[in-house]
Amino acid sequence: MGDDTVFQVRDLQKHFPPRHRLAAGERRPVRAVDGVSFDVRRGEVLGIVGESGCGKSTLGRTMIRLLEPTAGEIRFEGRDLTAMSERELKPLRRRFQMIFQDPHSSLNPRMSVRRILEEPLITHGTARSDRRARVKELLDAVGLPADAGQRYPHEFSGGQLQRVGIARAMALGPEFIVADEPVAALDMSVQAQVLNLMIELKEELGLTYLLIAHDLAVVEHISDRVAVMYLGQLVESADRDALYRQPLHPYTQALMQAIPLPDPTRSGGHVPLRGEVPDPADPPSACRFHTRCPFAEDVCREEAPAFRQVRPGHRAACHFAERFLAQAAPMGCRSPRPGS
Ligand code: SF4
């Protein structure tokens, strides 16, 4: 494990009890995360992108043990989180925190903002005399006035409330933040403001982010590296620019086709994303994307492709990734950035 690796995740699985019977009457667990391995480097923003239901939120929560993993290993600075009791984990919890999607539902409407920000400080034993000063610092850091502490969540706009959510995540001085769709519930006009605030705080405080989003424009705006998730597994990962310039997995290519382009004369390519995401309790055999992939051949239905390095720093789980690398012209379909 290199010095710059904060999190090391290996073959992580998170399965949930069966929700329903399959056509054959069988009940199988929902494999929300099903064998995911990756590293997060200190100071980077790793974007995790995929359609709704692909398991990305479950991955983020399991990684910091808000959910218990079914199997696999999670190392934080070399220490195995999966082997720790809740008591052993508590001092580490202040070092990794979470920003939730919808601040309206994640912040208690009966608490003042001051009380909301004090709550994690109380849990972790911060002295009363220090708490007031910390709340003031936090409000200042996220661009809210000091008197915001006296107000209640319903008195704020969505963008202001997400600033409160960010301030709460920062309360204990974490180093690693899981941001789960942090701007999905906000108007386009304020998305860029909140993302820019996250970038400023990252630079100022030396934070590392795992950014979970379904919107490729949001991920592109803020991420250094991007990993693409489909039906509980990673199918592609690369530096942001490499991935957006030349995606090598047909699923990533299809996601990029779905981005509306501001210029009607430009085309993003020819890989339409068709059909629905299959049931994660009954995923397709071999390559899980074969039921929706326009390039599927017999081998795709018979053999699971390895998630392997196709070029330096760029991994993909597709039998034909090398062929796409050799053939494909760069897509050049950069997404419109939030607020642009
Ligand atoms: Fe498509 Fe086959 Fe590649 Fe899967 S392995 S993404 S089905 S071409």
Q: Which atom of ligand 1 lies at the shortest distance from residue 300's CA? A: 2
State pTM to two decimals. Answer: 0.90
Residue 180 domain-assigned (yes or no): yes
Residue nearest atom 5 of ligand 1, based on CA coordinates: 318
Residue 164 domain-assigned (yes or no): no
Rounded distance, CA 307 to CA 337, Å? 29
Ligand 1 centroid vs 304 CA: distance in angstroms? 9
> Ligand 1 pocket test: which of 289, 292, 298 has the largest number of ligand atoms within 8 Å of its C-beta?
289
For residue 145, the model assigns a pLDDT of 95
The predicted-structure confidence for 208-262, as pLDDT tens digits, reads as follows 999 999 999 999 999 999 999 999 999 999 999 999 999 999 999 999 887 665 5
Residue 234 domain-assigned (yes or no): yes
Residue 85 domain-assigned (yes or no): yes
How many distinct structural domains can be found in the chain? 1
Residue 17 domain-assigned (yes or no): yes
Domain that holds residue 68: 5-95+174-327
For residue 266, the model assigns a pLDDT of 45
Residue 140 domain-assigned (yes or no): no
For residue 23, the model assigns a pLDDT of 66
The response to whether residue 317 sits with its C-beta less than 6 Å from ligand 1 reads no
The response to whether residue 318 sits with its C-beta less than 6 Å from ligand 1 reads yes
Q: Which atom of ligand 1 lies at the shortest distance from residue 301's CA? A: 7
For residue 275, the model assigns a pLDDT of 78
Residue 116 domain-assigned (yes or no): no
Residue 338 domain-assigned (yes or no): no
Which residue numbers in the chain have pLDDT < 50? Answer: 265-268, 332-340
The response to whether residue 305 sits with its C-beta less than 6 Å from ligand 1 reads yes
3-state SS of the chain is CCCCEEEEEEEEEEEECCCCECCCCCECCEEEEEEEEEEEECCCEEEEECCCCCCHHHHHHHHCCCCCCCEEEEEECCEEHHHCCHHHHHHHHCCEEEECCCHHHHCCCCCCHHHHHHHHHHHCCCCHHHHHHHHHHHHHHCCCCHHHHHCCHHHCCHHHHHHHHHHHHHCCCCCEEEEECCCCCCCHHHHHHHHHHHHHHHHHHCCEEEEEECCHHHHHHHCCEEEEEECCEEEEEEEHHHHHHCCCCHHHHHHHHCCCCCCCCCCCCCCCCCCCCCCCCCCCCCCCCCCCCCCCCHHHHHCCCCCEEEECCEEECCCCHHHHHHHCCCCCCCCCCCCC
- CATH classification at residue 196: 3.40.50.300
